[in-house]
Chains A and B, each alone.
Chain A
Amino acid sequence: MANREIAVHVAGGRASEEMFADLPPVDFLSVKLDQVATNLAALMATAGLTRSAIAEKCNWHKSRVSYVLSGEDNLTLKTIMEFAGAVGYDFDVHFRKFDELPARQPWEHGVTESLGLFPVQGNQSVMINMQTKHEVKADLDNGSGAPRYFSFVPVFDQSTMIPSLPGASTSTLQLVSSSLIANEVEYEYTHARTEKLRRFD
C-alpha cells in the first residue's frame, strides 16, 4: 500500500500528545487494577496453569477467575493471596519511586549479561546474550526464547569445540561456553515439558 493511500487517514493530524486531549486524565486506580490483574495472569501462564485449573484449586467458579483477571475488579488481599497460593507463590507489597523499574517478576528472566553486537557477515550482526540454564528454560517455557542457541560441550581442548564465528572474539565465545551447558538445558527443558504435558493428560 502506498503511503499516499494511508495518508488519507491522517490528513490534518495533530501531534500524538493530543490523541486523547478531549478525555479526562487517565485514572490511576484503573491502571493499577489492570496491572495487578496482568501480573496474576502472567503468574498463571508462567506456572503453565489454565483458568479452569485456578478455579478448581481456589474452589471458585471459572467466571470468577475471568473477572479477577479482567482488571476491572478491586481485588482484596484475600483474593490475591488465594490466587497466588494456588499457583504456588507468596507475594509482598514492594514500593518504588515512579521512575524506577518494578521488581523482577517470576516470568521476567531475561538475560544475565549482554555481551554486545558482533558482526558476522557483510552488514549482518548478532547480539550475543549470556543466560543461565534456568533463564533459558524459563524463556522457552513462556514462549520468549531466542531464535537460536549455541550449543557448547565442555572439553579440555577448547580449540576443537568453539565454532568459527567471523567477527566474534575467541575469548567472548569461551565466556559464553563456560555459562551455557546446552545439553543439560535441553534435557531439563524436555523433562519439564513432559511433566507439564502429563499434568494435563
Chain B
Amino acid sequence: MGVFFTRLMVGWPEPLRRPVDRPESWKVYVVCVAERPGANTTMADVRALGSVADKEAARNSYIKFLNRAQTGVNLSALYDEGECHVAFTYTREDGSIEKVWRIWGNSKTRLYFVYLPDRRIVLLKTLAKRVDQLSEGEESEIRDIAEAVIQTYQSMGFREV
C-alpha cells in the first residue's frame, strides 16, 4: 500500500498554510500512513516529545528548516558547521547507498530526512535527543521509514495528500 506525503506546516504564518515556494525551493514533506494529512508520523513524533519545552524546540526547528528550505540553497551551507550532515548511510537491496541526513536543531531536537527528486525533502523522524549517537533501535526505525518512503516513491510515484 505504501505511504503518502503532505507538506510540513507549523502554523506560521497563521493560520496553518502551505509554505510559499519558488521554483528552486526545497519542498519539505512529512510521511502519512493513510491518504489524509492528519495521519502523518511527524505529528506523532511531536506528541511523543512530551514536554512543552521540547515541543517548542521542535516547532522552532521546523520553522528554521522551512525558512532555509524556501531559499533553495544547499542546506548544509545555511546551517552552522556540523549542524546539517549525513547521520548514517545504509545499503539498499539493489546495492545502492542511501543517505539519511540530520539537522541538529537548537541542541534539543534532531530532524532526520532524505532527499527525493524534484527538490523534495521528506522528514522521517523528529527526536528530542541530547546525545550524539542514535541507538540501534532508533536508527533501524528511521531506516525502515526511509525505505518505505523510497520504495513507495519508486513504485507508485509521489503521492501527495
Contact yes or no, A35 B52, CB < 8 A = no
Chain A residue with Cβ nearest B24: A144
**A9/B59 contact (C-beta < 8 A), A26-B12, A109-B24 known:** no
Neighbouring A residues of B68 by C-beta, 8 Å: 38, 41-42
Stretch with Cβ within 8 A of A (4 or more), from B13-21, B93-101, B130-138: B13-21
Neighbouring B residues of A35 by C-beta, 8 Å: 67
- Residue in A38, A44, A71 with the greatest tally of chain B CB atoms within 10 Å: A38
Neighbouring B residues of A34 by C-beta, 8 Å: 63-64, 67
- Bound-state Cα–Cα, A86 to B58, Å: 33
Question: Which range holds the interface residue count of chain A?
Answer: 35 or more
Contact yes or no, B2 A22, CB < 8 A = no
- Bound-state Cα–Cα, A171 to B87, Å: 48
CB-CB contacts below 8 Å: B83-131 with A: 119
Q: Please tell me if B147 contacts chain A, counting CB pairs below 8 Å.
A: yes
Contact yes or no, B71 A9, CB < 8 A = no
Contact of B78 among A3, A38, A101 (CB under 8 A): A38
Question: Which range holds the interface residue count of chain B?
Answer: 35 or more
Contact yes or no, B77 A45, CB < 8 A = yes
**A107/B73 contact (C-beta < 8 A), A30-B60, A70-B80, A71-B64 known:** yes
Contact yes or no, B41 A9, CB < 8 A = yes
**A110/B22 contact (C-beta < 8 A), A6-B3, A14-B43, A26-B12 known:** yes
Contact yes or no, B43 A10, CB < 8 A = yes
Contact yes or no, A66 B80, CB < 8 A = yes
Neighbouring B residues of A22 by C-beta, 8 Å: 52, 55
Contact yes or no, B38 A42, CB < 8 A = no
Contact yes or no, B46 A20, CB < 8 A = yes
Residues of B within 8 A of A (CB): 1-3, 6, 9-14, 16, 20, 22-24, 31, 33-34, 37-48, 52, 55-56, 59-60, 63-64, 67-68, 71-74, 77-81, 119, 144-145, 147-148
Apart from A5-B144, A16-B40, A42-B68, 10 more pairs, CB < 8 Å: A16-B6, A16-B16, A19-B11, A20-B10, A23-B52, A23-B59, A30-B60, A34-B63, A51-B81, A98-B13
Interface pairs (19), CB distance under 8 Å: A1-B148, A2-B1, A3-B1, A3-B3, A10-B43, A10-B44, A13-B43, A16-B43, A17-B11, A19-B43, A42-B68, A45-B78, A98-B13, A107-B71, A108-B22, A114-B23, A142-B72, A143-B73, A144-B73
